[in-house]
Structure 1
Amino acid sequence: MRIGKNLLRLFVPLPALLLAAACSSPAPPDLVVITVDTLRADRLGSYGYDQGLTPVMDRLAEEGVRYGDVSTAVPITLPSHSSLFTGRYPNSTGVRNNGSFVLPDEETTLAEILKDQGWATGAVIAAFPLHSRFGLDQGFDVYDDEFPLLSPGEESARFFPERDAAAVTDRALEVWERLGQTGKQRFLWVHYFDPHAPYDAPEPYRSTHGDRRYDAEIAYTDSEIGRLLDGIGNRDGRTLTVVTSDHGESLGEHDEKTHGLFLYQATMAVPLIVHWPDNLPAGVTVEHPVSLVDVVPILLQELGYPLPDGLDGSIASQPVYGESFLPKYNYTFSELRMVRDGALKYIDAPTPELYDLDQDPEELRSLAGGHPDQDRLTTILADILEAEDPESIDLAAGSLDPEAEANLRSLGYMAGGGGSATDSDRGRDPKDMVRYIKDMDRVHGIIAAGDTEAGFALFETLVEEVPENHMALLQYAGALFSEGRLKEAETQLLRLLDRRPEMNGAWVMLGGVRSAQGKIDQAAEAYRLAGSLTGRGEPYFQMASMYREIGEYRDAGTAYLEAVSREPSNQEYMDGWVEFHVSRGTLEVAEVAAASLAAEHPGEPVVRSAYGDILRRLRRYEEAAGQLQAALDLSPGMFTAESMLGHVELELGSLEQAGDRFRTLLDRRPESTGVRFGLAKALTLQGEHDAAAPLFRQVLIERPDFSPVFTFRGAQLEKGGDAAGAARMYQEALRINRGDQEAWEGYQRVRPR
């Protein structure tokens, strides 16, 4: 068994091991990268933990290569994964926080590199911070990020947008099989989110680990990783498997509850295990410091591909960089930067810190100000930052839409546009503001618990204590808005916008507040101002909803079209636009616009799927099938497109094909009423009435107001000559949904004259 070329440069000399390595080249592998969100390295048995949480990951370490001293580039989910998959630090990618940043198209991901080499690529994502809207879907044939998204105001701690580990594993195995059908080498990225707060593992893990709720989540995730690896055949030795994390969790160390604020080892140290029995030695540990940006060059070297230009990562030992701009963007405090060289770690802050991790692994005794290596470390840091574009630091200011803000706050982030990191005043030191930050974290809980006056009083205190923290003012206005205190919310938003007129999120919220007050023209002005500050569709989608609610349908249609034109990949906006035209009976207008969008964005599956849906509703079934198949070619397994294609196949008479499609989809989504209805229709049309009946009953139990059941039943009775029965069914469908065009047309045919 040979040692990969990258390992020759990373290992301490191991001559006996080198001699024992096999000389023959192994068969090309498949690649699986597993990222476990919020996983501290020191919670794995292979990294010294004695609670037995991670037998699966520990087995991989025993059979593979364990990197013993790995740092994330940034203790925040999106920027960390961006660095992991590009091999570039956040100051190179420009992605420095959750929600406010999008990985630029100019960046090259590992998935893009492998796809260009002929691989089939897929990803299964567990939570909102890695939604495709943030750019990490680049290079993936399948990017499965279908999890519940929050709407503004749905901020309960018990409801947040993630899938648990079992659901992720189920979907990952489906995607793995789908990639295998291509006959190509497979690259699958699987993201687990369970160790992220709030910690709520299922039984028996919750009971087994008692008060150690974080540990329970890790044990649960490890078991699901085992199920994943069994399903993909990891034990056959041919799959190159990588397990790592984006960041750790403080769990109260250094007065930090979770992660993102500081750069201490509790959140910066992550595991990294590389397992490939056919090609790598077993039981080897790499001891010197490495970074997650080194993973791309390590894997490309091992797979035999050239390294692209511009990588920050390396296969050779080098100083390690890290940063967090969350304090700057969320609170207007100072950003933090870090550099490590061996055991020495320097944190650049208003009050600098320097630690010798060999002597002080818990980072309790700063040596800054008197250590002989401090100047050398600051020089290394300056060299790393030399090429940084200062303007890139300010990209996040005000660029977050309210939906994303609500989703991210539910996960413990405020996802802010609080301050500009290019201000001449660097800002307060985060470690001096721990009490303030804790108050910012708990104020929403006070309001949610019903003590609104105490919560608003605390907001006033926070705003006055740190007047430059514009995010506190935005949060205050949002809380007032949620409580229906519209005039007060408007006052606070105007106060904020007087200071920071570039904060488009504040303009969007002001539009919502003014709309709720009936100030329609002023609301529209606020939405348009927001739209002028961002290329996103959110301001126009909100404007469309406002106009639709008051019956200004022409303006609503214009705003919907602007939203989907700006973000043609946004499924929510596209669904809203199509549904608007369905309800208005203006599908012919939508078809013209959809054709134009499809011509402008031929590679966008959401557009092709929506165009197919419109054609289906216009009963242009052959054309609809073409558009829906095009969507599936662009995004294999796209659920909405595949479901609609099944309904089109029914109309085209391909009953068996449609039935098979619906059965497969129902296995994937047993909760889908539309798919269950599609299968029931297919069975009915094939004469299998006994098999269809329980499916129809289940549909009506799940959705008593599901009018298509009655419309379909009416059509069947009409076909059988029972005009009176058909009329009753059509009437029931219209009672539920007056916009059911098919029911209306059917009733006109059979109604008593």
Structure 2
Amino acid sequence: MALMCVIALFALITAQCARATPPSFVLLFADDLGYGDLGCFGHPSSLTPNLDRLAAHGLRFTDFYVTSPVCSPSRAALLTGRYQTRSGIYPGVLYPASKGGLPLNETTIAELLKSKGYTTAIVGKWHLGIGLNGTYLPTRQGFDNYLGIPYSHDQGPCQNLTCFPPDVKCYGFCDQGVVTVPLMFNENIKQQPADFLQLEKAYSEFATQFITDAVRNNGPFFLYYPSHHTHYPQYAGADYAGKSPRGPFGDALMEFDGTVGKILQTLEETGVINNTLVFFTGDNGPELMRKSRGGNAGLMKCGKGTTYEGGMREPAIAYWPGSIQPGVTHALASSLDILPTFAKLAGAALPDVQLDGVDMTNILLNRGASERQTIFYYPIAPSEKYSVFAVRWKNFKAHYYTQGAIHSENPQDSNCSSLFLKRHDPPLLYNLEADPSENYNLNSTEWDSVLKQIQAVKEQFEASMVFGESEIAKGRDSALEPCCIPNCTPKPTCCLSTCKRSKHER
């Protein structure tokens, strides 16, 4: 009996110690993925078994939002817990030659977790600036290690590159007149142009090795995997090319899902899966202009580039065996909320700045209510003159302005692609619980009280918003384009072959 008591006491102490150990974090971030693109969110032909597993055994969000319908601002908000207007990542996105980037006085998730002894790494797409001598690279923003392309992989000529084996050229032309996309390790160019057929394999190996090393060193870790998938042009290696019934887009999505599977397998094999929170979402809605080569917003209206639901409502899943019970939540949540949530779980102090995110632990651990009641929708090019284009309050969404985008060209709905800015007075009002597709404007006087409440919330938020200096408005300098051959001329042709490592690498 005494021995049994000792064993029980030891088990209790062990369990308490395990809970006292801060969790590790894996943040998965897809690119240009629509609300309706995953099998677990209703797509009939997407093959995503690993993401489906996360959804089946984790918590699936139905009402999760990002802060912008395009890449760079969405990523800035994710990593800082602050709207991109505060950090200056607007209007639009950063380019290879951009002078600006995510300001170094912004506190990223990586910096916050490093203060608590976490090892940090990013693998994939950064897209928050490079700058002079690598000023804005991830290694300057709290990440110990980085492997990836520092911006979008279509921001360089791609027509002569191979996207699918054995020799299928990339579909389309991407950006012209700039260097081919580089693969960087920390602050050095490892390869230029990046080999798309081997890229995901390199990412997967980097991610699994990082986790293995972190566990061996007995410390908590943060892995950020912002994938290039499923952004145009789609690509896939030999293990996934031609394997999806959905075509090239489906192959790319399968490859992303495959890397997710290898990360999960590594968490299991190293014995840390029960003490790791895995969170998945995407940066913005799908490029409808790509038709079947683009993503799918499901029931949501329009897509990338717009402040309709299809542009900014994203699939999201939280997975933490033993801590998060499987199910579905309709709680309102945002990518802004990830930083304060990770901070709470890691025991880290929040940065002394105006945060826009709220703690999600009540949703994740208790299936409780959200601390968030509002979502503010900024367009591609926000300004103090127009401020937010739309506001969601509880289940209601009011559009003060609407504007389509080239990204969302859709012959079935001219609102998606019309570039004409429309002001709505009174605002368009939709009940997103009853009408997630934003089809039926509630234009009768019985909804006046709702509009008044939304207007009050909007005015309060706008009074708190201080626009930071625009980093994108600082302009570009072609000399800043990363090239494996220093001072090369002309830039577009200097990097057509794989780089040789040299002392000149950046």
TM-score under structure 2 normalisation?
Answer: 0.66
How far apart are the structure 2 equivalents of 1:225 and 1:318? 29
Specify whether residues 134 and 369 from structure 1 end up closer, same or farther in structure 2 by C-alpha distance, changes over 3 A only.
farther
- Supply the AA of the counterpart residue of 1:143: Y
1:293, distance to aligned residue in structure 2 (A): 0.5
1:346, distance to aligned residue in structure 2 (A): 1.9
How far apart are the structure 2 equivalents of 1:151 and 1:206? 19
1:134, distance to aligned residue in structure 2 (A): 4.5
Of 93, 96, 104 in structure 2, the residue corresponding to residue 98 of structure 1 is: 93
How far apart are the structure 1 equivalents of 2:357 and 2:154? 38
Specify whether residues 39 and 211 from structure 1 end up closer, same or farther in structure 2 by C-alpha distance, changes over 3 A only.
closer
Of 323, 334, 339 in structure 1, the residue corresponding to residue 391 of structure 2 is: 339
Q: Deviations over 1:512-549 (max 9, x none)?
A: xxxxxxxxxxxxxxxxxxxxxxxxxx3xx7xxxxxxxx
1:73, distance to aligned residue in structure 2 (A): 0.9
Q: In the alignment, is the contact (CA less than 8 A) between 1:42 and 1:48 conserved in 2? A: yes
- Supply the AA of the counterpart residue of 1:222: D
Q: Mind listing any 5+ residue stretches in structure 1 that lack a counterpart?
A: 1-21, 404-537, 542-569, 581-670, 679-753
Of 439, 442, 465 in structure 2, the residue corresponding to residue 367 of structure 1 is: 442
Asked if 1:118 corresponds to 2:117, the answer is yes
Match of 1:247 in 2: 284
Match of 2:203 in 1: 168
Which has a greater percent of helix? 1
- Supply the AA of the counterpart residue of 1:112: E
Match of 1:265 in 2: 309
Aligned ranges 1:384-399 → 2 under 5 Å: 384-390=461-467, 392=468, 396-397=472-473, 399=474
Aligned ranges 1:293-308 → 2 under 5 Å: 293-308=336-351
Higher relative contact order (CA 8 A, sep 6+): 2
1:195, distance to aligned residue in structure 2 (A): 0.5
Which has a greater percent of strand? 2
Aligned ranges 1:373-522 → 2 under 5 Å: 373-390=450-467, 392=468, 396-397=472-473, 399-401=474-476, 403=478
Q: In the alignment, is the contact (CA less than 8 A) between 2:373 and 2:394 conserved in 1? A: yes
Match of 1:141 in 2: 144
How far apart are the structure 1 equivalents of 2:436 and 2:374? 17
Q: Deviations over 1:617-666 (max 9, x none)?
A: xxxxxxxxxxxxxxxxxxxxxxxxxxxxxxxxxxxxxxxxxxxxxxxxxx
Report the structure number with the largest CA radius of gyration: 1
Asked if 1:237 corresponds to 2:274, the answer is yes
1:348, distance to aligned residue in structure 2 (A): 2.6
SS in 2 for 1:46: helix
Specify whether residues 154 and 24 from structure 1 end up closer, same or farther in structure 2 by C-alpha distance, changes over 3 A only.
closer
| Matched positions, count | 391
TM-score under structure 1 normalisation?
Answer: 0.46
Q: In the alignment, is the contact (CA less than 8 A) between 2:123 and 2:207 conserved in 1? A: yes
Aligned ranges 1:695-706 → 2 under 5 Å: none
Of 419, 423, 426 in structure 2, the residue corresponding to residue 351 of structure 1 is: 423
Asked if 1:313 corresponds to 2:357, the answer is yes
- Supply the AA of the counterpart residue of 1:102: G
- Supply the AA of the counterpart residue of 2:120: T
Specify whether residues 202 and 335 from structure 1 end up closer, same or farther in structure 2 by C-alpha distance, changes over 3 A only.
farther
How far apart are the structure 1 equivalents of 2:52 and 2:263? 15
1:383, distance to aligned residue in structure 2 (A): 1.3
SS in 2 for 1:274: strand
Of 37, 62, 81 in structure 2, the residue corresponding to residue 68 of structure 1 is: 62
SS in 1 for 2:252: helix
How far apart are the structure 1 equivalents of 2:46 and 2:247? 13
How far apart are the structure 2 equivalents of 1:334 and 1:219? 40
Asked if 1:43 corresponds to 2:37, the answer is yes
SS in 2 for 1:379: helix
SS in 2 for 1:364: coil
Q: In the alignment, is the contact (CA less than 8 A) between 1:338 and 1:348 conserved in 2? A: yes
- Supply the AA of the counterpart residue of 2:393: D
Asked if 1:282 corresponds to 2:277, the answer is no
Q: Deviations over 1:208-242 (max 9, x none)?
A: 44555433322221122112221343774232222
- Supply the AA of the counterpart residue of 1:363: E
How far apart are the structure 2 equivalents of 1:80 and 1:174? 28
Q: Deviations over 1:440-465 (max 9, x none)?
A: xxxxxxxxxxxxxxxxxxxxxxxxxx
- Identity in percent: 23
SS in 1 for 2:436: coil
How far apart are the structure 2 equivalents of 1:152 and 1:107? 25
1:201, distance to aligned residue in structure 2 (A): 4.0
- Supply the AA of the counterpart residue of 2:372: Q
- Supply the AA of the counterpart residue of 1:312: D
How far apart are the structure 1 equivalents of 2:275 and 2:223? 14
Aligned ranges 1:148-159 → 2 under 5 Å: 154=157, 156=159, 157-158=172-173
How far apart are the structure 2 equivalents of 1:238 and 1:289? 25
- Supply the AA of the counterpart residue of 1:124: V
How far apart are the structure 1 equivalents of 2:453 and 2:247? 41
How far apart are the structure 2 equivalents of 1:178 and 1:295? 25
